[in-house]
C-alpha cells in the first residue's frame, strides 16, 4: 500500500540515511490482544524483509541502551520517496502510537572533499623520487586508484557491517567568534582533517566509521555512525579524537545514542513486546 | 464558517507567510469510523481547494521526511485575518487533535534592502564608460529596470514552484560580543550580502530560494525556504554558503525541515490516514 | 466565588501585568455537549465582563497567529490578589483542561529611570539661552511638565488601545563578558536609551509601545508590548531598532508572539469553539 | 504511614530546604466525586498540620502567580528522610496525578563564608582606635557577638515570616572564560560580597532574604528566597542589585517564581479545587 | 524470560554503568487491583534479587529527593547485553507505564590516565634520596604497587558502599575558545588533576567517589557518583572543588540528582506504592 505513483527522487550522488529511535508505549501495547500483538510483530517483520529486499535500500535494527530509546532503525535508501514511505510505515508497523519517536536524524552519504586526488598523489610520488612513467610510479598510482575507488564506494554506497555495538551522534564544525572552521582556508582544513584520519586508521579492525552529510537536511552538519565489537572501543576512539586539534578546537557534538545489533526476535524479547 | 466580519488586515507591502508542520496522532485517528475518516479527508481536501481559490492566498502541501513531522503546509495570504482563520481550520480539518503541531513559523515577504537602485546602476554604467544619454546606457538601464521589477515581484508576491524537495529553516544575523552584524555599516553589510547573492546565482535552475522577514513576528529574524529537484542540491548550496564570509561570520541557524511536494491523495497514503 | 477575604495587595506605584497564551484542547472540548459548550462560552464572556468592570483592571483578548497559541489575554490589575484570582479563573473558564497554557509573562508597569527630570530640562533651556524667569523658559517648562505628567501616567496607568495587531516579547539587557549593560555608568545608559527613544518617536501614530518591568518577577528583565494597524510596522520598527546601538550591543530577546484583537464572538468562531 | 524505621539523616549544620511548585490537573480533579474532593482537601490540610507539628520542620504555602504553577510549598526539615517522605506525601495528598510538579529546588541553609569573624572585628575596632581591653572595645565586641549569633541562627535555622509576597530563583556565580568567580581570591570575593550586603541592608524592613546553598544538591549553586509586602519591592531590590559589581559581572540567574502566602482555604478557592 | 542467546558483550576492561531515574505514574498505578499491586512489587523485588545474584552485576536502589524523580537505580554489569536486558525489565517491572523514565546515564568504569606509574614512583623515590636497590626504596615501591592495585580494582570493579546519600551528575571538560582542556599538554592536565585528587583525599572517610567515563556513550564525558553519610558533605566537597583550578577553569556540569539508599520495602512505602 506504500507504492508511490511518483517517479523516484534520486540524488545525483549518494544515498539518503535516516536514523530512527523510538520508545515503546507499553500501556498502549498491553491493550492489544495476544493475537493482535502477534499480528503487529509479524507486520513489522514482514516490513523489515520488504525493505531489505528493495533495490537500493538497507535496514539495520538496534536494541537501544537506556531509556532514551527502546529500539532503533538505520534506514538507507537511494530514493527519497521510498525512504519517506518506509519510515512512516516503520513507525506505524507495531500499531498506532506503539512506537513513540524520541530522536531521528536525516543525512546523506557523501564523498570527503579532503580526499587526495589522483593528480596530488602522482605529484607526491614524483616528489618522493618516483618520476611519472617509471614502473614504480605507475604501479603505485594504479594501486592508489583502486584503493580510492573502493574508499569512495564505501562512503557513498556502503554495505553496513553486522558488528554488535553501534554509536550515533551528530556534530558541527564550530563557527565561534574566535575559532571559526568556515573562515579557515581549504589547505588549513585539509591539513587538520588529515590528523583526524590518522587517528581513525589506528582503530582499523576495531571501529568502522561512516560520516554522512546533513547540512541543510537536519539540525547539525554531519552524522557520525560507528560500529564496534567492544563498547570500550567506542569510548576509546572518541575520547582519543577529542585531543586531535580539529576536534579540540572545532568540533561541537549533539546527543549520543548506543544501540546493539540483535536479531528481530531477540529485540522483541528484550523490549518486552 | 470562517468568514470574518472584520475588514481585511493587509500589509502596506508583501504577504504573510506561515509554515506549519504536524505529526498525526494515529491512535486518535484510529478511533474514527471509516466513514468519519473519509469525511475528515474530504474536509481537508475541500479546505485546500477553498484556500487555493481564495484571492491573495497560496497553499503548498508537503510529506515531511522523518518523525519531526508527518505533513506540512506553507500558507501565504495577503490578509492576516484570513491567514489566521485558515491556519486554525487546517489544524482542525482532520478532526480534533489529529494534527499535532510540532513547529510553525510566521514571516512576511519583503524586499531586500541591499538591492542595487536604478540610480546606483546608472552610475555603475557611467563608470563603465556608458555615459547617460547614450543608447547603450539607456537600453541597459531599461533592461535592468525590467529585471528588477520582476525580481521585486518575485520576492514580494511570489508564485511558488511545484519542485519536489522543500527545505525550510529560520536564521538570525549574529549579534556577538565580537562579531556583530548590527554594528556594521550599511556599506559593509551590502558588500557581504553581495557575495552571498553570487553563490545563489551559481545554483540557478537547481535551487529556488525565498527569503522572508520575521523580525518581531517570530523567534528568528528570517525564514529561508528552498526548492530543489535533487535533495543533494539542498545540502550542496547550504554547505557552500557556510564558507561565504557573511554566513561564516554572521549567520545563526535554527531547525531544518525537509518536505516533499506530493499530491494530497499520495500524502494521505504516505502518512497512512 | 473568587472573592478574597484578604486585603488588596497593591504596589506603591504601577499595575501588575500578565500576558497569557493558550492552546485549545479540541479533543476535550468535543466531549462537551452543545449545551455545555454554550455554557462554557457564556462563562468566559461573563468573566471577561466582570474583569473589565472591576476597578483597576483591564483585559485585552487576542486571536493568536500560528499554533504557538490559539488565544491570548493581557490582564492588568492594581491588586495582585485580584490578578492571581482572575488568571486562575480565565484558565478554567471554558472547562477543565480546555485552555492549555503555552506561555505567560508577569511584569509591572514602571516609570523609566532615564526620563529627563524637570531640573535637567530647566538647565537645558538655560543652556539654549532661555534663562530661568524669562516667559519663554517658564512656558516651555510648564509645557514640559504637562507632557511628562501624561507620559508618566501612560506608562504607569496606561489605557490600552484597540489596535488590530499586538506583538509581545520579553527581553534582557546583556551581561556579557565584554559587553555588559550593568557595568555601564548611568550617563552612558541614559545616552544609549535616548537613541532608542528617537527611533520610537519616528513610528508615532503607527506603533504604540508599552515597556513593563519584570526583573525578579519573571525570567527576563522587561516585557515589550506593541500595538499596530499594519503587521509590517511591527517588523519594521523592531528591525530598525536592531541597528540602534543599545539594541545591537546590549539587547537579548525571548520568544515573539503575534495576536489580533478581535471581538469575543469572532474569537470563538476563529478558534472553532 | 510515612514513618520510617531508618535513623534520622541529619546534616552536621543547617536544615534541608525544598521548594515545590505544581500545576493542578483539573480534568483529573473533576473526575472525583464531591465527597472525594472534600476528603482530598482534608487529607492535604491534615498533612500540612502534621508537618507543621513535626519537630524540626516548617512548611509555607503559596498561591502561585501565572500558569507556570498553581500552588507551591516551601518545606524545611532537619532530617532528610523526613523531608523526602513529606514531599512525596504532599505531591500525592490531593489524589493521584492531581498535583503535577512543574519545578522544584533542593538546597540547604548554610552560613556565609564571607561573614566577619570575631577576630577580624576586634582588629577593626583596634584600627579605629578602640584598643583591646578598653571598655568600648569590649562592649562593641560583645554586641557584635550577640548580633552575629542571631544572624547565624537566622541563616541556619530561620523562622520564615508570613509576608505576603514570595520570590524564588536559583543562581550561579559565573565561571566564564574571562570573568570567573571561582578564580578570584577569597579577599576579592569577600570585598565584592560586601557591596552586595550593603544593598541588602538598604532594603531592611521591606525585604527579607534567605540564601541557601545547593552546589551538588541541585542544578544551580544557590537558591534565593525573598519575602516582601509590596511586589514592586521584589522588582526594586533585584533590579538594583543587578548593578552591583558582584551581580553585574558574576551572577547567572535561573527561573523566577512569584507566590502569595494565603491561608489554605483561600488557596483552595483560588485554584478552584 | 530475559535470557539472551547471544554471546556476552564484554569490554576489554571495566564494567558498564547505568543510572536510571523514574517518576511513578500514580494514576496508572491506582488502576491496578490490590492483588495486582502486590504482584507488581513482588515482581520488582524478585528482579532486584535476580540481578544482584547475577555474576558481574550490581544494583543499588534509591529513594530520590524532590519531584525530579521518585526512585532510582544504579546498575553495573560486565555484559552490555545483560545490562540492556535488565534495564528494560526494571522499567517494566511495576507494570506498563508505571515507571516513567525522567533521566538516565550510561558510562563505563575506567582507569585514570593521570595515575602515577610504577616507574614514575620509583623515580620520585630516587629523587627523594631512596636509591633503587635500597631496602627503603624496595619496601615503599612494593607498598605503592599494592596500593595502586587496590585503587585500580576499586575504579574498574568497584564494590559500591551502602552509605545513605548518593549524588550523581555528569560533567565535561571545557572546550572553550579561550580555555580548552583538550588543547593542554598531558603534563599540564596531569598537574591540574593532581590538585583535584588532593581535595578528594581530604574528604576521605566522609565521601566515596566513583568517576566513570562516558565519552561517546552518553551526552557528557564523565559521570560522577558520590556517596556520603551527611548531605552537607556532598555540598561541601563539590563547593570546595569548584575553587580548584581544574574545575574553576575547565569543568562543565549537567544536572544533579540526590538519592537515599533505603531498603526496598521502605522505598515502596515512601513513594506510596
pLDDT digits (tens, 9 = 90+) for A75-126: 999 999 999 999 999 999 999 999 999 999 999 999 999 988 899 999 999 9
Residue A237 and residue A207 in contact, taking contact as beta carbons nearer than 8 Å: yes
pLDDT digits (tens, 9 = 90+) for B127-143: 999 999 999 999 999 99
pLDDT digits (tens, 9 = 90+) for E54-106: 999 999 999 999 999 999 999 999 999 999 999 999 999 999 999 999 999 99
CA separation for the pair A157, A150 (Å, rounded):
10
Mutual angle of helices E135-156 and E118-127, in 10-degree steps: 150
Residue A11 and residue B271 in contact, taking contact as beta carbons nearer than 8 Å: no
pLDDT digits (tens, 9 = 90+) for C45-72: 999 999 999 999 999 999 999 999 999 9
**Residue C25: count of CB within 10 angstroms of its CB:** 20
Confidence band, pLDDT 50/70/90 cuts, at residue E1 = very low
Q: What is the pLDDT of residue B3?
A: 55
Confidence check: pLDDT of B2 > 50: no
Mean pLDDT computed over B81-92:
98
Mean pLDDT computed over B208-227:
98
Mean pLDDT computed over E147-176:
96
A242 contacts in E (CB within 8 Å)?
175, 182, 215, 221
Q: What is the pLDDT of residue E2?
A: 46
Q: How far is CA B212 from CA B106, B156, C22, D186, in A?
A: 9, 9, 27, 53
pLDDT digits (tens, 9 = 90+) for C125-179: 999 999 999 999 999 999 999 999 999 999 999 999 999 999 999 999 999 999 9
Chains that touch E (3 or more CB pairs under 8 A): A, D
Q: What is the pLDDT of residue B4?
A: 62
- How many angstroms away from the CA of E140 is the closest CA of chain A? 33
- Given a cut of 50, the residues of chain D with pLDDT beneath it are 1-2
Contact at CB, C110 and D248, closer than 8 angstroms: no
C-alpha triplet B51, B52, B53: angle, nearest 5°? 90
Confidence band, pLDDT 50/70/90 cuts, at residue A4 = low
Residues in a beta bridge with E210: E225
Confidence check: pLDDT of A228 > 60: yes
Q: What is the pLDDT of residue D48?
A: 98
Please give the grid coordinates belonging to residue A261.
545489533
What residues does each domain of chain A span? 16-109, 114-157
- State the best of B110, B216, B250, B254 to mutate against chain C, taking most chain C CBs within 10 Å: B216
Q: What is the pLDDT of residue E187?
A: 95
Of B169, B182, B239, B257, which one is the catalytic site residue? Answer: B169
Q: What is the pLDDT of residue C139?
A: 94
Mean pLDDT computed over C228-250:
96
Q: What is the pLDDT of residue C1?
A: 41
Contact at CB, C87 and D66, closer than 8 angstroms: yes
CA separation for the pair A82, A98 (Å, rounded):
22
Mean pLDDT computed over E39-53:
98
* Residue in A with minimal Cα distance to B237: A216
Q: What is the pLDDT of residue E4?
A: 62
Q: Using CB atoms, which residue from D13, D28, D217 is nearest to E234?
A: D217
Q: What is the DSSP string of chain A?
A: -----SPP-B-SSS-EEEEEEEEE-HHHHTTS-HHHHHHHHHHHHHHHHHHHHSTTEEEEEEEESSTT-SEEEEEEESBHHHHHHHHHHHHHTT-TTTEEEEEEEEEEE---TTSPPHHHHHHHHHHTT--TTSHHHHHHHHHHHHHHHHHHHHHHS------SEEEEEEEEE-B-SS-BGGGS-HHHHHHHHHHHHHHHHHTTTTEEEEEEE-BTTBSSSEEEEEEESSHHHHHHHHHHHHTSHHHHHHEEE---EEEEE--HHHHHHHTT-
Confidence check: pLDDT of B273 > 70: yes
Measured in degrees and rounded to the nearest 5, phi and psi for residue E142 equal -60, -45
Q: What is the pLDDT of residue C3?
A: 55
Least confident segment among A98-102, A211-215, B133-137, C34-38: B133-137
Confidence check: pLDDT of B70 > 70: yes
Mean pLDDT computed over C88-105:
97
Contact at CB, E248 and D106, closer than 8 angstroms: no
Q: What is the pLDDT of residue E196?
A: 83
Contact at CB, B87 and C65, closer than 8 angstroms: yes
pLDDT digits (tens, 9 = 90+) for C197-215: 888 889 999 999 999 999 9
Confidence band, pLDDT 50/70/90 cuts, at residue B80 = very high
* Residue in B with minimal Cα distance to C270: B85
> Could you confirm whether C169 is annotated as catalytic?
yes
* Residue in A with minimal Cα distance to E93: A272
**Which of C140, C149, C115 shows the shortest CA–CA distance to C132?**
C140
Give how far the C-alpha of residue D253 lies from the chain's centroid of Cα atoms, to the nearest Å: 15
Residue A230 and residue A206 in contact, taking contact as beta carbons nearer than 8 Å: yes
- State the best of A6, A18, A88 to mutate against chain B, taking most chain B CBs within 10 Å: A88
CA separation for the pair C109, C96 (Å, rounded):
31
Helix (H/G/I), strand (E/B), else coil: E13: coil
Task: For domain B16-109, give the fold.
Answer: Alpha-Beta Plaits (3.30.70)
Confidence check: pLDDT of A1 > 70: no
Mean pLDDT computed over E189-208:
92
Q: What is the pLDDT of residue E3?
A: 55
Please tell me the pTM assigned to this model: 0.96
Amino acid at each position: 500500500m506504500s507504492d508511490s505513483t511518483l517517479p523516484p527522487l534520486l540524488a545525483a550522488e549518494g544515498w539518503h540515511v535516516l536514523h530512527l529511535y523510538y520508545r515503546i508505549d507499553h500501556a498502549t501495547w498491553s491493550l492489544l490482544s495476544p493475537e493482535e500483538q502477534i499480528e503487529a510483530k509479524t507486520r513489522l517483520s514482514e516490513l523489515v524483509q520488504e525493505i531489505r529486499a528493495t533495490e537500493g535500500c538497507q535496514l539495520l535494527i538496534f536494541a537501544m541502551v537506556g531509556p532514551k530509546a527502546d529500539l532503533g532503525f538505520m534506514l538507507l535508501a537511494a530514493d527519497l520517496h521510498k525512504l519517506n514511505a518506509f519510515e512512516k510505515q516503520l513507525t506505524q508497523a507495531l500499531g498506532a502510537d506503539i512506537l513513540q519517536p524520541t530522536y531521528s536524524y536525516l543525512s546523506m552519504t557523501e564523498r570527503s572533499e579532503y580526499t587526495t586526488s589522483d593528480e596530488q598523489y602522482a605529484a607526491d610520488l614524483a616528489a618522493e623520487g618516483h618520476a611519472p612513467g617509471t614502473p614504480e610510479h605507475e604501479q603505485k598510482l594504479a594501486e592508489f586508484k583502486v584503493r580510492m575507488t573502493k574508499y569512495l564506494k564505501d562512503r557513498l554506497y556502503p554495505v553496513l557491517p553486522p558488528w554488535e555495538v553501534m554509536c550515533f551522534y551528530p556534530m558541527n564544525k564550530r563557527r565561534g567568534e574566535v575559532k571559526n572552521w568556515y573562515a579557515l582556508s581549504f589547505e588549513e582544513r585539509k591539513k587538520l582533517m588529515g590528523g583526524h584520519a590518522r587517528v581513525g586508521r589506528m582503530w582499523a579492525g576495531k571501529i568502522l566509521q561512516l560520516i554522512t552529510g546533513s547540512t541543510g537536511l537536519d539540525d547539525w552538519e554531519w552524522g557520525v555512525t560507528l560500529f564496534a565489537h567492544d563498547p570500550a572501543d567506542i569510548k576509546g576512539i572518541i575520547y582519543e579524537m577529542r585531543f586531535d586539534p580539529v576536534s579540540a578546537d572545532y568540533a561541537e557534538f549533539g546527543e549520543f545514542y548506543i544501540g546493539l545489533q540483535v536479531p528481530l526476535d531477540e529485540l522483541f524479547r528484550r523490549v518486552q513486546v
